[in-house]
Structure 1
Amino acid sequence: MTARALRSTAVRVQALRAEAEELEAEIVVLVEAMAPKLLRLRGVGRSARVRSW
C-alpha cells in the first residue's frame, strides 16, 4: 500500500469512528426515553461497549 492509500484509509476510519459515536449517543437517548431499564441490565448499558480498535 502506498502512503497515500494508507492516509486515505486512516481518514475514512476516523470519520467512521466519529459517525459510530454519534449514532451510539443517539441510540442511548432513544433507549433512555423508551426503555431506561435496559441500560441498567448487565451487558446492555454503555459500559458494555466493546471496541475492537
Structure 2
Amino acid sequence: MLTPLQVHSFLITNLAVGDFLMGGYLMIIAVVDAYYRGNYILYDRFWRESVL
C-alpha cells in the first residue's frame, strides 16, 4: 500500500517530467520559428496544399 508521501512524490515526479518534455517541445518550436522567420511566404502554398 502506498503512503501519502509516496503518492505525493510520484505526482511531483510526473509533473517534473511533463514540464521537462514541454520545455523540449517548445525549444523545437522556437528553433523552427527562427529558421523559417521571414521565409514563411515562400513555403505557405506548399504547406497548405500538402497531403499531411
Global fold match (TM > 0.5): yes
What is the percent sequence identity of the aligned residues? 6
Offset of 1:33 from its aligned partner?
1.1
Larger fraction in helix = 2
- For normalisation by structure 1, the TM-score amounts to 0.60
Structure 2: segments with no counterpart, 5+ residues: 39-52
Q: Let me know the Cα RMSD of the aligned residues.
A: 1.7
User: Where does the alignment leave 5 or more consecutive residues of structure 1 unmatched?
Assistant: 37-53
Higher RCO (CA < 8 A, seq sep 6+): 1
Count of aligned residue pairs for this structure pair: 36
